[in-house]
Each structure stands twice: as C-alpha cells, then as structure tokens.
Amino acid sequence: MRFELNANSILTGAFSASEGQGEAVLTLSAEVGAERNIEAAARLGMRREGASVVRLEGENANDLAAQAVRGYFHGAFRISKDAIRGLKDVYAQRDALCDYGPGALCIDCDSDVAEGIRAGLTLARCEGYARMLGTLPNNFLHVRQMADYIRHMAADCGLTCRVLGDGELKMLGCGGILAVNQGSDAPAALAVLEWRPSDGAPVALVGKGVMFDAGGYHLKNLDGMNGMQSDMCGAATVTETMEYIARTGASRPVIAVLPLVENVISAKSVKMGDVITTLSGRTVEVYNTDAEGRLILCDALTYAQRMGAKDVADIATLTYGCQSALGDETGGWFCNDEAVSRSFERLIGKTGEPFWRLPLHERYHRALKWSEVADLGNYAPGYGAAASTAACFLEEFIEPGTRWLHLDIVGPATRRGGCDAECKGARGFGLSTLVGLVQA
C-alpha cells in the first residue's frame, strides 16, 4: 500500500491511501532504531520539495510509520517570517507560523499503517507548535501571551486550565517565582493544566518558563544572551505534551504546572545576597541571579505535589554544566527512584531522543548548604558539577514518597548551528519522551 501526505496533512490529519508502490529513496526498519530512522526521515523533509518515498520493512510497521512522519515533518519545519510580520495572536495564527513547505511524503508498506501515520501526524503537529513557541521573539511571546496561548489551547482541547497571577502567587507564598520576575514590569504567572479521565493521583509535568533570561544582575554577555527567548522550551514542550494527551487520550490523570517569568534588570530586580521564602517554606539565599530556573521550578514542584502528584517529572533548560558534560545533542536525566529509572531507560530507547543519566548524591546537597542566613543557597560557588548541584537543589523540594524525574535539556533544546536534518531554533526536544512517560 501507498500512503501520501503533505503539509495539509499535519494540519487536518488527512492523507490518502492507494494500491501500488514505487522506488523508495529511503528504507526504514526497526533494526536501525528510532533515533536513526527519525533523523534519516528528517533529512528528506529538509528538501521541502517534490515527493519523497519511504519504504517500511520488517516488524513494528506502525511504529516505523510514526517515525517516518514525525521525522519528515521535523525536517520540513520552518517558522514563517511572513506570519511573524504583524503577528497579533499567537494561538489564532499558530498554523500560519508553522511552515512545512510544498513537499510530500509517500510511505510504502505491505500492511495498513494508518494508525501509525495518525499518531505521527499528531506528534509532529504538537512538536511543531512547541518549536514555534520556543523560537518566537520575546516581544511577540511574553508571559501574558504565553498564558493566553495556554488558555486557548486548553479550551480547544478540553483541558481544565487555571492561570494564577501576581496577587494569587503572593497569597500562596511563591517567593521563588516572584523573586525571579521582580525586575519585570509585567506580572508573573503560574499556569496549571489538568487532564482528568479518571480518579486517582495525577502524574505531574513541570516545565520551566523563563520567557527571556538576561541573567538579572549577573548579566549575560552578548553570546550568552543570544537565543534566551528559548529559555522557556521546557514550558513549551510540556504545553504541547498536554495538547497531544488531550487529542489522543491517556488513561492516567495528568497535570501540568508551568511557571512563567522573565529574568531582567531593573531597580526592583532580586540581588545577590537576597533571601527569599519559597512556597515550601524553605528559605534560599540568592548567590547567582542567573541561576533563576531552579528558583521558579522549586515553587512549581511544591505546587504539583500539593495537587496530589506522587509521580513528578520536570523539564528545563537548566544548566550549561549539563551541556558541557553531554554536548548539544543529549539531554541529562536524574531520578530518585530506581524502579522509575529502569522504566525510563527502556522508554528512551524507543522515543528517538537521546538522554544520559547523571548523578544525585548527598555530597551535592551539602554543597548547597553554605548560607549563614538561609536554608539553602541557589548556587554552589567553586564546586563544579553544576548539573548535579542544580538537580540536588530541586530534590530538596521533593517530598518523601514522591517519585521524581528531572530532565536538563540546555544542550538539545535548540539547534544553534547548521544541520542537514533540521533548521536552527527550538527543537521540541523532550516531547516524545514526556508523551511516552505519561502513556506508559
């Protein structure tokens, strides 16, 4: 059978099927592995012209079809410069912002793989939206615009949504979120999404949403500030993971907690040496204003646990130490539960997204307990092991009995240079992994 798809397919889900096959330019098989299959299909998508024929061989044909579709449209994706011109409403114009070009994908297979194609199209569509959100300039996507996007998406997909503003955050005592956003003229927000198909404790997904990170008073240099509109890729990925769940279904309840701020300089900005009280009640001395992501995440993690979550995963562009250790292609992961760790190891072999485990240890916790005036410092000066100390800072806010997974994606969150399989900008990295995690 032959299945034919084009840019309209990713927006509508429609594709055609017919008898007959042709000469393939690419063959995918399960033996090669998901990561290599997706990358090969993405190279075809990068052409953005003509019809590319992919042949599926061997077992797991529906999985291969999903990989072909996801990869092809990942490669074809561009953000539309024309749509950015005069942009007013990101959600209303999101399909125009995602440009997949005039090319077409033909999938040849001896069996019916319509189910896999549909799954691949939905995943590719949500991944494209996450990439669009992570790439848009900050002046088009600030805290308010991101909160509006989340509200509209939730209403369209049947998710419950609540957005807490500055007043509610102050009443709750979310000192971490409020401190990071102190320098901004615009209020912070905490967006909460819920998918409740059944009773029971939810799985919680937490995504870092620093809409722009100048570093605060520890100001980044020119190279360091370049691309900092993408410091909200964790929140973008979680937002679109929730859309995928709502459109395809998940048997388990899932909640998303998304702290939205910007980290900039003004007379009101948080300063080195300030002590803040977090939602958990624990106090933190700010040593480095550019170690802000952990300050908003600790409040979000506490909030998720107060909503009853016993399984919590967070995803964040958190530390350049993780990028230094693992490079631009691989994310770091940390976990406090060995059963969850074994399950996650199996999962990442199937998603096509490379992750590598890094350590949590008491020695890293001790490195954060140097302050004379607070329970913790937000940084471990002179210690090194930046990814592990940041992860252990977050672990300080994980309650006994909570199974917790932390994904640090500074390296693979964005494509910084040229590549033959994708354009520059946000990559939607982690979405497939989070989908697999909640659907396991």
pLDDT at 418: 79
Query: Does 142 have pLDDT greater than 80?
Result: yes
Distance CA 243, CA 10 (A): 15
Residue (of 287, 274, 294, 295) closest to 174 by Cα position: 295
User: What pLDDT score was predicted for residue 22?
Assistant: 65
Q: Is 310 a catalytic residue?
A: no
- What is the pLDDT, as a whole number, of residue 25? 87
Pairing of strands 2-6, 104-108: antiparallel
Kindly list the distances between the CA atom of residue 353 and the CA atoms of 76, 192, 360, 396, 431, in Å, as whole numbers in the listed order.
18, 26, 22, 28, 9
Give the active site residue among 131, 294, 415, 427: 294
- Is 70 exceeded by the pLDDT of residue 371? yes
- Is residue 440 predicted with pLDDT exceeding 90? no
Contacts of residue 157, defined as CB under 8 A and 6 or more positions apart, other chains included, come to: 242, 243, 246, 247
- Pairing relationship of beta strands 78-79 and 425-426 according to DSSP bridges: unpaired
Q: What is the pLDDT of residues 61-86, one digit of tens each?
A: 999 999 999 999 999 999 999 999 98
- Region 280-295: mean pLDDT is 98
Give percent of the chain above pLDDT 70. 100
Q: What is the CA radius of gyration of the chain?
A: 21
Please tell me the pTM assigned to this model. 0.97
Phi, psi dihedral angles at 61 (to 5 degrees): -65, -40
Distance CA 431, CA 241 (A): 6
Q: What is the pLDDT of residues 145-166, one digit of tens each?
A: 999 999 999 999 999 999 999 9
pLDDT of res. 417: 85
> 294 an active-site residue?
yes
Point out the least confidently predicted range of 7-21, 271-285, 404-418. Answer: 7-21
Q: How confident is the model at residue 54 (pLDDT cuts 50, 70, 90)?
A: very high
Task: Find, among 192, 171, 169, the residue nearest to 181 by Cα.
Answer: 169
Kindly indicate the confidence band of residue 19, based on its pLDDT and cuts at 50, 70 and 90: confident
Catalytic: which of 47, 220, 247, 252? 220
Mean pLDDT of 22-32: 86
Average pLDDT, the chain: 96
DSSP symbol at 228: G
248-273 per-position pLDDT tens digit: 998 999 999 999 999 999 999 999 99
Average pLDDT, integer, range 46-59: 92
